Amino acid sequence: MSDSSIVTLAARRWRGLLMREIRENRSLMLYAPCLLVLVAILLGLRLFTLFSLERQTAAMDLLFNRFEGINALELAPLLTSAGALNLVFIVGIALSYLATSLYSDRRELSYFFWQSMPISDRATVMSKVATSVLVIPAIYLAILTLGSMILFISAAVYSFSLGVELNGLVELVSTMSIALGFIGLSAVTAMLWLLPAVGWILLFSAYATRVPLLWAIGGLVALSLLEEVVLSSNTIDTWIASRSSPWQYLVFSIDDLGARLFSYDMLFGAVLGGILISGAILMRRFAD
Amino acid sequence: MDRQNKRGHRVTVMQRMLRNTLLYNKHTLFIATVTAVLVIIAVEGRLTSREASSQEFENPFFYIQVSPQVRADIR
């Protein structure tokens, strides 16, 4: 078999595995982001309508004219920070997905079907990791981009109807595009930063017989408290707290992205995540 | 001494030892994995004197200054 056909076969296998994850978790990966983005837009519109017409006009004038001539790269971090809530949603969806991923295979007994397929446990588990790190952020970002475009066009049309000039339109579009790109990069970076959490939840998803997410969170809390009571130390708390600064999850520039992805803390987290994910892979050989 | 398993593959002493201890059942594997991770975290924390940084809410990337005219427009 030639190298190119091996690569094609592997690519087809991976595409099948990722498409399987999307099909089986449509409600979490597709419908939930649509609902979240829609609720956020409607909430914003509702708050906007509380203002008087004069203030609405002033706000639209501020939005479409104050950014005229401003460098989009300098302004994009501000919009990225404003969109940080989306990062919370993406991480929440990814962790919920991981908690049920291996657990549902065992509960529905489809685990035996997939064991009979010529797909290794490692490929199956790594496809779930890849789904949480890459696919979920990509789908959410696509839905967020579509929602932002609809909101932006609606705002532009409404501003035009109010008689507001749209002088800074190009700068605002550039700023929004760059901010959306930064949110996407932040989502992937955040999921890579959270690889220990990904591995921890996958391990409990493969091990727990009921409510794996509750066991994962409760287990971590219990271990932390046990360490403080028995050993009078707080190593686990300190380690978690050292990786919990909000600025560790947001990307504002591509220049330092390489340094962040290959930093000591990122690589150390990847090693821990790798150990936990390996445990989840080995756990699959034990049928319940 | 190496033995052969059902598939005729050689099983090393190390592999047999792992199967009889860490891979004996899912519970031993789970405890071994969690213990390994916690030990590594504890050792690394001591070696690098790790400190918490979750209190760092000061933005190291940019600062915001809103001009008085913009503030007046918003009000």
Cβ–Cβ gap A66/B70 under 8 Å: yes
A84 touching B (Cβ < 8 Å): no
Cβ–Cβ gap B33/A278 under 8 Å: yes
Among A209, A283, A204, A277, residue whose Cα is nearest residue B29: A283
Q: Would you state the torsion angle of the CA atoms of residues B9, B11, B12, B17, taken in this order, to the nearest 10 degrees? A: 160
Window 5-24 of B: residues touching A by CB (8 A cutoff) are: 23
Let me know: does A242 contact A170? Beta carbons within 8 Å. no
Let me know: does A149 contact A37? Beta carbons within 8 Å. no
Cβ–Cβ gap B52/A241 under 8 Å: yes
Judged by average pLDDT, the poorest of A221-225, A229-233, A276-280, B46-50 is: B46-50
Query: Which range has the top average pLDDT, A59-68, A76-85, A235-244, B32-41?
Result: B32-41
Let me know: does B38 contact A226? Beta carbons within 8 Å. no
Buried b (16+ CB within 10 A) or exposed e, A237-247: ebbbbbbebee
Mean pLDDT confidence for A135-143:
96
- At residue B11, φ and ψ (nearest 5 deg) are -110, 120
ipTM for the predicted complex? 0.85
The tokens for A258 are 């390489």
Cβ–Cβ gap A282/B29 under 8 Å: yes
Cβ–Cβ gap A203/B70 under 8 Å: no
Q: Model confidence over A189-244: pLDDT tens digits?
A: 999 999 999 999 999 999 999 899 999 999 999 999 999 999 888 899 999 999 98
Please give the residue of chain B at the shortest CA–CA distance from A273. B37
Window 28-67 of A: residues touching B by CB (8 A cutoff) are: 58-59, 61-62, 66
Distances (CA, A) of A15 to A11, A12, A22, A127, B41: 6, 5, 11, 9, 35
Q: Show me where the domains of chain B are located.
A: 1-49
Q: Model confidence over A89-121: pLDDT tens digits?
A: 999 999 999 999 999 888 877 666 766 777 888
Mean pLDDT confidence for B21-37:
92
What was the pLDDT predicted at B7? 54
Please give the residue of chain A at the shortest CA–CA distance from B56. A245
Q: Show me where the domains of chain A are located.
A: 9-283
Q: Which residues of A touch B32 (CB under 8 A)?
A: 279
Cβ–Cβ gap B51/A238 under 8 Å: yes
Cβ–Cβ gap B52/A59 under 8 Å: no
B3 touching A (Cβ < 8 Å): no
pLDDT reading at A53 higher than 60: yes
B63 touching A (Cβ < 8 Å): no
Cβ–Cβ gap B37/A207 under 8 Å: no
CA distance A215 to A251: 32
pLDDT reading at A268 higher than 90: yes
